[in-house]
Structure 1
Amino acid sequence: MPGIFFGALGVGFSGAIMPGSLLTYTIRKSMSNGPKAGFIIATGHAILELFLVLLIFLGFDTVLKSDAAQVAIGLAGGLMLAYMGLDMIIGSIRDKVSISLDEGSDRKGGMLVSGALISAANPYFIFWWAVVGLGFIMESYNALGFTGVIVYYFGHIMADYIWYGFVSVLVGTTRKFLDHKLYRILIAILGALLVFFGIRFVYDAAVKIL
């Protein structure tokens, strides 16, 4: 059992620490919502992963890794990320972003949902679970049955909580030292990164169609 847990933790870290749209969003929200943002976003991400594990067990892995699913996820997800990124850039240009703490309940709910949506917007994330994740899940199931799958799942999401929590605490506790002008620049850069990821997802989906 410890082998399954720590193996899942290691594999989880290998994916969590890679730069991507979810990390970009976590940094952005940690600046405006404080150190708790990463944990809330990671929870949304974990809920989606639980849903994917259930789908895989129900035999939907072949659907998730199909070209049609990859194209649909790439187009819809890419457009969503591009929109979010442009909104951040425009907000920065118009000076509508603020470093002041905002931890209202609606914000928490929004971050929870966004944690799941931004993850779902990444076709590579879905494909990983349908192919690589399937292998690890079946290996865990063969070793300890459903208990093995549960242990693997918690080991995997623990990596997300540790990494995104660390990033969130680091950014959330040091943001008070940021000059407002520098903050606006950082928001614009993070927005540009989301636009980049969005365009890449749409491009890859278009290539599959053509």
Structure 2
Amino acid sequence: MRMLTIETFNALLLGFTIGLTGALVPGPMLFATIELSLKKDWLAGPKVVFGHMLVELVLSLLILFGAASLIGSNTISAISVIGGLALVIFGLLTAKDAKAAASAGISPGTSGLKLSSNPIALGLVTSVSNPYFWVWWLTAGSALVLKAYELGVLVSLAYILGHWIADLSWFTAVSGSFSRGKALFSGRTHEMILYACGGFLVIFGLYFMLNYNNPIQLS
């Protein structure tokens, strides 16, 4: 029992460390979180992570049941095109609504596509649209989950939980900082930050789409 407790704690710590390493790397989910934090409040971060967690939960189950092996390079290429297009659309909507969202008299999320202001939906979309997210989970991520599973279900769950705690901690800190800071920003600064977030989402989307036929190898 003591050995199981130690292994479970080690898996939790490993999941947290690896998860934090990934969370700290700027990506589509980060800029979506910043944008929504400025439009809404600090809860935007946890909600975005919840959408992200839903994808990772499904992937973890697929890995444990062996179904992830059915996903190959062609699937990653399709994700790059479809997901990239989705990111471009969300980025353009963010830029389009930047001026209105930065105006004091406009309620957040009242303009543009409703989905673009839904944190859970954006957490899901910015995850599944990122081919590097899939490549990592189908290589190193799957290996780590399966290795933890060899030591027991609790150890595997501890690893996944640690990974989620890292994501939740970082993105909550980001959304908390930006939601508080928006009261200090001038309308122009607020607007410029939203333009920048929209621009980064468009850049990520175009990059994924243009590199659809050259996905990173899964082996």
TM-score by length of 1: 0.90
What are the ranges of 5 or more consecutive residues in structure 2 without an aligned counterpart? 1-7
Residue 179 of structure 2 is matched in structure 1 by 172
The DSSP-based 3-state class of the residue aligned with 1:8 is helix
TM-aligned CA deviation for residue 56 of structure 1: 1.2
Cα distance in structure 2, aligned partners of 1:87 and 1:177: 24
Deviation at 1:159, TM superposition (A): 0.3
- Give the whole-Å Cα distance in 1 for the aligned partners of 2:214 and 2:52: 27
CA 89–103 in structure 1, closer or farther in 2 if over 3 Å, else same: closer
Q: Aligned partner of 2:154: which letter?
A: T
Do residues 117 (structure 1) and 157 (structure 2) align?
A: no
Alignment of 1:183 with 2:187, yes or no, is no
- Equivalent position to 1:91, from 93, 97, 120: 97
Separation in 2 of the partners of 1:54 and 1:86? 34
Is the CA contact 1:89–1:188 (under 8 Å) kept in the aligned structure 2? yes
Aligned-residue offset at 1:98: 3.0
State the Cα deviation string for residues 168-207 of structure 1 (Å, max 9, x = none). 1111111101111111111111111001100110011044
Counterpart-to-counterpart distance in 1, 2:144 and 2:205: 29
Q: Give the Cα–Cα distance (whole angstroms) in 2 for the partners of residues 103 and 164 of structure 1.
A: 20
Q: State the SS of the aligned residue for 2:97.
A: helix
Equivalents in 1 of 2:52, 2:143: separation in Å? 20
| Deviation string, structure 1 residues 11-58 (Cα, Å, up to 9, x no partner) | 000100100000000000010111111011111111111011011122
The separation in 2 between residues aligned to 1:98 and 1:7, in whole angstroms, is: 40
Letter in 1 for 2:122: S
Q: Tell me the equivalent position of 1:34.
A: 41
Deviations 1:34-92 (A, max 9, x none): 1111011111111111011011122222233x111111100000000011111122223
Residue identity in the other structure for 1:154: L
Question: Shift in Å at residue 102 of structure 1?
Answer: 4.2
Aligned pair partner of 1:130 in 109, 117, 138: 138
Matched with 2:79 is 73
Q: 1:14 to 1:198 in 2, by over 3 A?
A: same
Normalized against structure 2, the TM-score is what? 0.87
Amino acid at match of 2:100: K
Q: Which has the larger displacement, 54-63 or 18-27?
A: 54-63
> 2:5 maps to what in 1?
none
CA distance in 1, matches of 2:100, 2:191: 9
Identity of aligned residues (%): 26
How far off is 1:117 after superposition?
1.5
Matched position secondary structure for 2:102: coil
Give runs of ≥4 in structure 1 deviating > 4 Å: 99-104
Query: Which segment drifts farther, 9-18 or 49-58?
Result: 49-58
1:192 pairs with 179, 195, 199, which one? 199
Task: Give the superposed CA RMSD.
Answer: 2.0
